Amino acid sequence: MTMESTTILLIEDDASLGQLLVEELEMDGYKVFRVGSVAEAQARMAQGRPDLIVSDLRLPDGDGLQVLSFQQAEYPGVPFIVITAFGTVDQAVEALKAGADDFLTKPLSTDHLRLKIKRLLVQADLNRQLAEYQARQSGDPVMGLIGGSAVMERLRAEIRQVARSQATVLINGESGTGKELVARAIHQQSDRSETTFLAINCAGIPADLMESEFFGHEAGAFTGARQARRGLFAEAHGGTLLLDEIGEMPLSLQAKLLRVLQEGCIKPVGAAHEERVDVRVLAATHVDLLAAVEQGRFREDLYYRLETLSLTVPPLRDRGEDVELLAMHFLNKVARRHERGYLRFSDVTVRILGDYPFPGNVRELSSAIERAVTFCDSDTIQPEHLPERIRKRQSSASVSVSETPPGHLSEWPTLEALQQDYVRQVMLAVQGNKRRAAQILGINRRTLYRWLESEMEQGHD
């Protein structure tokens, strides 16, 4: 959703205040429709769904609660902000209980209003995208992989391509990036989608039991084998088998796996003859298998057999605004599981999540949201609800005054110089994305533009 296409319904009977707000919001690029009564608001909404509503609480022919009730019935999910005089805060709280998203008191801060509008629109857009992803998960477009970043779109395109083949696929990626989800997506996009999908973590099976787990065994094949048992390859016959953390597989079993991939046959432990299986093998790893080959820990011939088709799942730090989308997904999911009502993130929380590199990737983000919901007693996730390692991370981009020798005060940078240097570093880190930079800096984009223009003017002096 772009600002130019975003419509705001402003319900304010004070003509001068209404005109001021219209001008401010239109300067931000919104399309604003102003009305002055409950009846006019309902008539306007009947003509089409607005993207956001700002309503005064007291109106000539009623109050904002009537407008809110109409919005809840006709356009549920549209963000609703209440404007109220200081003496009617109790009514504003009543409006929040009735479904309003936020409220502001008069005298009104236009900057505060614009920040609230921005936050609610971003959150509404994330909810809309999540609803679309969830509605289409059974189809082709998203494959259950949440994210609209360029790297995720590219990954989905690659999944569609490799899904057409029957060849083995090697899925690379750091821990917690979602390699099993990618494997499931490949299976679902293939002509085996109606058959079995099995996933096994090679690091979780004792080495002495691994051959039996994979290929099965005959009765009496070893001590304790009282009856015959089918292995994972036999169970996955006709379907797909994911070998997760394949880098942990012992060399002795790697040779037998290579034979299965080449010949399509397995030999259960203790059996006299091989049996044919039809299994598509997917392998996943977070380690550098080529380095493992050079170190003698992984067979070179098996590596090249697996590497014919390979995908790399991007780390979360390279996925840009997918962090916000995933955070909203996990927030909604955890809130439903805990039977909580509507929950949202504060602006600062969103900024902290977006600035954190998440070395544990999507899994770490999911755990952080789980903790946040558990410790949040209100309807807003604040920074203090996040794990300490996330909320207390300090930006290395900031300039430390303590590095300047105290005996050379004339060499200390000015506050303006520090600000300019920090803004430059933020702009560099976000690759010129002014929206993201403004979010990290905690300012609106107009202020950022003013700072950047000032810096350019000084550069020409």
pLDDT digits (tens, 9 = 90+) for 285-327: 999 999 999 999 999 999 999 988 999 999 999 998 899 889 9
pLDDT in the model for residue 141:
47
pTM exceeds 0.75, yes or no: no
* Position with higher pLDDT, 202 vs 419: 202
pLDDT in the model for residue 449:
73
Query: Residue 189's pLDDT band (boundaries 50, 70, 90)?
Result: very high
Region 213-227: what's the mean pLDDT?
A: 72
pLDDT digits (tens, 9 = 90+) for 418-434: 777 788 888 877 777 77
Question: How far is the C-alpha of 123 from the C-alpha of 81, rounded, in Å?
Answer: 14
pLDDT over 90 at 242, yes or no: yes
CA atoms within a 13 Å half-sphere pointing along the CA-CB vector of 175: 7
pLDDT over 80 at 225, yes or no: no
Question: How far is the C-alpha of 303 from the C-alpha of 305, rounded, in Å?
Answer: 5
Q: From residue 14, how far is each of 22, 53, 403 by CA, in Å?
A: 12, 16, 54
* Position with higher pLDDT, 387 vs 134: 387
pLDDT in the model for residue 224:
62
How many beta carbons lie within 10 A of that of residue 367, not counting itself? 14
pLDDT in the model for residue 450:
72
pLDDT over 50 at 139, yes or no: no
Least confident residue range of 78-92, 327-341, 410-424: 410-424
Most confident residue range from 132-146, 188-202, 439-453: 188-202
CA atoms within a 13 Å half-sphere pointing along the CA-CB vector of 318: 13
- Three-state secondary-structure class, residue 180: helix
pLDDT in the model for residue 154:
93
pLDDT over 90 at 118, yes or no: no
pLDDT digits (tens, 9 = 90+) for 379-415: 888 888 999 888 776 433 344 444 444 555 555 666 7
pLDDT in the model for residue 452:
76
- Among 259, 290, 279, which Cα is nearest to 172's? 290
- Helix (H) or strand (E) run with residue 103 in it: strand 102-106
pLDDT over 80 at 11, yes or no: yes
pLDDT over 50 at 55, yes or no: yes
pLDDT in the model for residue 237:
92
pLDDT in the model for residue 394:
40
pLDDT over 50 at 95, yes or no: yes
Partners of 459 in the β-ladder? none
Q: Which residue type sits at 109?
A: S
Query: Residue 447's pLDDT band (boundaries 50, 70, 90)?
Result: confident
pLDDT over 70 at 123, yes or no: yes
Please, what's the b/e burial string for 324-349 (b: 16 or more CB within 10 A of its CB; e: otherwise)? Answer: bbbbbbbbbbbbeeeeeeebbbeeeb
Region 273-284: what's the mean pLDDT?
A: 91
pLDDT in the model for residue 391:
79
pLDDT in the model for residue 131:
65
Name the percent of the chain lying above pLDDT 70.
Answer: 86
pLDDT over 50 at 360, yes or no: yes
pLDDT in the model for residue 399:
42
pLDDT in the model for residue 91:
74
Pairing of strands 265-266, 275-276: antiparallel
pLDDT in the model for residue 16:
86
